[in-house]
Amino acid sequence: MQHVKLIRGALCSPFQVRASCQLSITMTSTTSDQKAVSCPLMTKPSCQRLVSKDGRSLMRGSAPGSRETWFGALRDMWGTWLALRWRWVVLAFCGSFLLHWLLFAVLWYLLARVNGDLEVPDHDSPPPGHVLCVKHVTGFTAAFSFALETQLTIGYGTMYPNADCPTAIALLALQMLLGLMLEAFITGAFVAKFSRPQKRCGGILFSPQAVVCEVRGQRCLMFRVCNLLPRPLVDVCVSTVLYEERDDHELHQTAMEFSVDNLGSRPCPLFLSPLTFYHPLTPASPLNNAPSTKHFELVVFLTASQESTGSGYHKRTSYLPDEIQYGSCFTKVTSRYGKGRSKAESMRYFDTQPCPLTLPNTHTGDALEKEHVVVQINGEGSDRVE
C-alpha cells in the first residue's frame, strides 16, 4: 500500500493568510483524512482579556468578599469611593445623611429624657427651677426634626436649644462640626467623580476591529479613533502595549509604536477628524514573536487635553487576535463630522472593506523559512515542491 505524506516546512505567522496556516495532511490509498488547524494566534482565546473594549480593567486581585478586599477598601476609602458606580454613590450619599440625622436624633432624644424635658407638659411654661435643654422636643419624632433642622440650618423657630444648658450647646457644636465634615467629603467626592479624565471622554470611540493592510508599499497594523465631543482636543498621544502569554504562562509586556501619517512619535496637535494610527509590520515588530505565544492582547492607551481648560482625557481599549482583520482596510473619510452627529452615524467611520495584499510578506523576517512541501512515497525518496 502506498503512503503519501505532505509535511509543512514553514513556520506560521499570526498575520499570514489563514489558508496558509495549516498543519500536515495525511492521505492513504483507502481513506482520505484532511485536518486543517488555524494558526494558534488566530483562534479565539480561552483566556480572559485584561481590558474590556470600553476600557474597564478586568483584572481582580483577591476574591470578592474576602477579608483582604475589605481591608484594602478601608485603607483607601477615597479611591474606593471614586471607583464605585453612580448607583452606589447616590445610595451612599443618601444613607450617610440619614444615618447622621438618626444618630443625632437619638442623642437629642436621650438628652431630653435625661434632663426630664419629656415629662414637662408645657414647654412654654416649664416648672420653676427646671431648665429645658431644647424647646418643644417632646418625643423622638421631634428630636429627629430638630437634628434635621440643625444640620440643614433651616431654623423654623419652634425648636431651639437653651443657652442655659451647656450639654445642649456642646452637642449642637458637635453635630455642626461632623455635619460640615460630611458635607465637605460628599461635595469633594462628587466633584472628583465628575471630573475624572476617563469619565469625560465618553465621546472618544475606538474602532471595534483592527485591520492589516498595505499602506504606501508596506504592510501595517491599523486602528482608528473618532472624537464625538463638541470641543476639539489637542496633544493626542497613543501608547500601546502588547501583552503576551508565553509558554511558561508568564505575562510579557512589549511596547509598540503607532503613529499618525508622518508625525512619527510626536503627538497629534489637533483631534478634529477621525485619526488612523499605523504600526509597520517590519522584521523588528514585536508581533514577529507571536508564533511562540499562546495568547496576546494589544492594549491601547490614549491621552489628550482640552484646548480651553487643559483638562486631561484618558481612554483605552484592547484588541485580541480574533479582533484583527487580515486583508481589510478602513473606508476613506470623505468629510469631517460636525456637531450633533450621533454615535450610530459615527460608527460608519469604522467600516472596513477588502484590501488585497499584493506585496510579499516582508514582516516575517529571517525567522520564517520559505514555504515548501516534502512528498514521501513508501518512505523512499523525496521530492521538494516549492
pLDDT score at 342: 60
Please classify residue 126 by burial: count the beta carbons closer than 10 Å to its beta carbon, then call 0-12 exposed, 13-18 middle and 19+ buried: middle
Domains in the chain and their CATH numbers? 87-195 (1.10.287.70), 204-354 (2.60.40.1400)
Cα 40-46-47 angle, rounded to 5 deg = 105
Higher-confidence residue of 126 and 335: namely: 126
Gap between the Cα atoms of 94 and 88, Å rounded? 10
Q: Which of 77, 102, 71 is nearest to 185 (CA)?
A: 77
Query: Using alpha carbons only, how large is the chain's radius of gyration in Å?
Result: 34
Q: Which of 226, 337, 344 is nearest to 276 (CA)?
A: 226
b/e per residue 291-313 (b: at least 16 CB within 10 A):
bebebbbbbbbbbbbbeeeeebb
pLDDT score at 333: 72
Q: What is the pLDDT of residues 155-169, one digit of tens each?
A: 777 888 888 899 999
Q: Are 238 and 264 in contact (CB under 8 A)?
A: no
Within a 10 A sphere around the Cβ of 127, how many other Cβ atoms? Answer: 10
Model confidence at 361, in pLDDT bands (50, 70, 90)?
low
pLDDT score at 206: 92
Model confidence at 375, in pLDDT bands (50, 70, 90)?
very low
Gap between the Cα atoms of 233 and 308, Å rounded? 9
Residue 6 clears pLDDT 50, i.e. is over it: no
pLDDT score at 198: 61
**Alpha helices, DSSP H, located in the chain:** 67-75, 77-83, 86-115, 140-152, 166-194, 197-200, 343-346
Q: What is the pLDDT of residues 52-76, one digit of tens each?
A: 888 888 876 555 555 666 666 667 7
pLDDT score at 379: 41
pLDDT score at 5: 36
Q: Are 34 and 25 in contact (CB under 8 A)?
A: yes
Higher-confidence residue of 30 and 259: namely: 259
Q: What is the pLDDT of residues 181-202, one digit of tens each?
A: 999 988 888 888 877 766 677 7
pLDDT score at 61: 55
Q: Which of 41, 40, 8 is nearest to 23 (CA)?
A: 8
